[in-house]
Structures are given as structure tokens and as C-alpha cells.
Amino acid sequence: MPAPQCASCNKARAALRRPRSGQALCGACFCATFEAEVLHTVVAGRLLPPGAVVAVGASGGKDSTVLAHVLRELAPRLDISLHLVAVDEGIGGYRDAALAAVRRQAARWELPLTVVAYADLFGGWTMDAVARSTAGSGRSRSCCTFCGVLRRRALEEGARLVGATHVVTGHNADDMAETVLMNFLRGDAGRLARGGGLGSPGEGGALPRCRPLQLASQKEVVLYAHFRRLDYFSEECVYAPEAFRGHARDLLKMLEAARPSAVLDLVHSAERLALAPAARPPPPGACSRCGALASRALCQACALLDGLNRGRPRLAIGKGRRGLDEEGPPREPQPSRPPTSQPVPDF
């Protein structure tokens, strides 16, 4: 059976049916529609004001690649300037390939690129060193927790370095639905309450952040990259298979198979969530060590690094964090060595 005509231009043959609506579109019309929807998200949400200097978190993966490409197309209409900021987490045998993809993108699109490294920002700690430090502590499965907190801080530092006024990341609807599920499963009411909306306004001196792809499904992000023939790095991070997020992802796939709207339903539920006054966390203050926004004496990044430097990484995550005030001998980061396998977390 021949493919139907594109429902938008009524000229070309349709190349796909949109996963959610079933609308048949050719590749060109799909890409134009995708870009128009991202533009609507940015404008309706007032995410990026005219004149904004935008730091795009660039990991080399599909999401950040699509985000950078779409914003580059929309930049003249939005009156914004873009600067790619990549983070080198120090994952041997893997991150170099992802950074190479980012450098190719920056050269092809003529966008400025700045790379910041964990080792430079965090006293020599790399993700490989963190993984070795936590290997015997019962926290080896929490590498993604360490990396997520440190990468957020590194991206903020990189954005400030280039004079950015706003930070954007490539989280799509599936990513956000997984995060909502994870926070529900953990019983983390504070993060559930903060997770709604399309970003954060930049409290306590932090730069405003937003997620222009938050309402775009992962399937359509991949389709856009395919039809635009974008060059991106597609290997999974070597530390990702043990992450808790993988269980949430599997559960979400089952939910979506039974209820196709499950992803967006979860995203919108987080937007509408309101905590009872008694359950609301206290207003955040400033980290006593670095001055960043924090709900405790130490911000998450400083707490994680404190536990690592004491040789007690259990103190940095979860219940063990209660013991952060306990004294312990400082510990030097272990020298990096390449792991045996390869792969990149996306922003």
C-alpha cells in the first residue's frame, strides 16, 4: 500500500505518522511542525526573553543536539544568542568521543563552544575517581546521583564563564516523566513540588534554567534528528545500566503501552502538584561553603564532595547525609584510568 499524502502540504508522500496524534507528515513538514511547537513552548512560557545570552548544555547526545539545532533555527525570531557549554565528567574511553561530536556541531553551526571539566572544578575528582571511591561503600549504583549534581554545578559554572543570562538543557517529555516517577517512588515531596513547570526562575543568584523540549516525546526528538541528518553520539554511559532511572524508564514504557498519554499525563501532573502547607520544605538559603542555593548547611554539590574527600561517600547521599558534620580524614582523588567499556549521559 502506498504511503498517504502529507496532511500538511498535501504534496509529498508522508514519511511518518506522529506517535501521539497519528497525523501523517512528510519529513520537511514534520521538522517545521516540531520547530513551531518548540517556539510556542518558549514564547508561551516566556522562557527566553529577547537579548538573552543562552548557554546550551551540549553533551553530544541526541537531545542536546536537537535542542541546539532547533534554537539555532529559531534564534533570529527569538532575538537570542547561543553558546554551547559542554562538561567533561572524566569518563575515560567514552567522553572523548562525545566531546568530539560536540566540537563537530560547534564548527558546523558556527557556534562558540566552552568545555569545563570536573577535574578542574572539583579538586581533581572525575567520575571514574568517584566510581572507584564508591565501589566498596554500597553506593556504587549512585554514580548517576553524583554525576547529576556535579554536572548541574559544572554547567552553571560554565554558563557564568561565558557570560550567559540563561541556561537551557535538552530534557524531553520522557526524561521528565521518568523523573516524576522516580520522585514518587522515593517519596520525595520536595522534588515533586519543584519539578513542575518548564524550568526554574533562578533563585538565590542561580541562572534561570529552562527545558524547551519538555513537551516533545523522545520518539519525535529521534525522528527530528533523523530527518535533519544530525550528527550525534548515541552510546550509553558506562555507569548508566545500574542507575535507578533505568527501572523508572522500564515502568514508563509499560505504562505508555497501556496508556499512550501516560508520558505527558505525568509531566502535566507535576505542573499541577501543590503541597499542603505542612509538607512544604523550608525556603532555601545559601550554602555555607560556596554560597550556592541550598536547603541545608551545605548544597548538594558541596555535600557530595565533602563525603568523597573524607573517604566516606555514604555521607553524601540519602540518610547518611545527616552525618556530614562528623569529622573524618580528607581523602585525595584517585588518579584516573580508562575503563574497559565506552559511552555519554545527555543533558
Distances (CA, A) of 45 to 41, 139, 211, 230: 6, 38, 10, 27
Of the candidates 306, 299, 339, the one whose C-alpha atom is nearest the C-alpha of residue 323 is: 306
58 is in an annotated binding site: yes
Pairing of strands 53-57, 166-168: parallel
87 is in an annotated binding site: yes
Where are the alpha helices (H) located in 273-334, listed in sequence order? 300-309
151 contacts 237 by C-beta, under 8 angstroms:
no
257 is in an annotated binding site: no
**Which secondary structure element, helix H or strand E, spans residue 151, and what is its range?**
helix 143-161
Q: Which long-range contacts (CB under 8 A, 24 or more apart) does 279-284 make?
A: 279/189, 280/193, 281/189, 281/190, 281/193, 284/203, 284/204
90 is in an annotated binding site: no
Residue 123 phi/psi, 5-degree rounding, is: 65, 35
170 is in an annotated binding site: yes
Binding site, residues? 57-59, 63, 87, 170, 175
Binding site for ATP, residues? 57-59, 63, 87, 170, 175
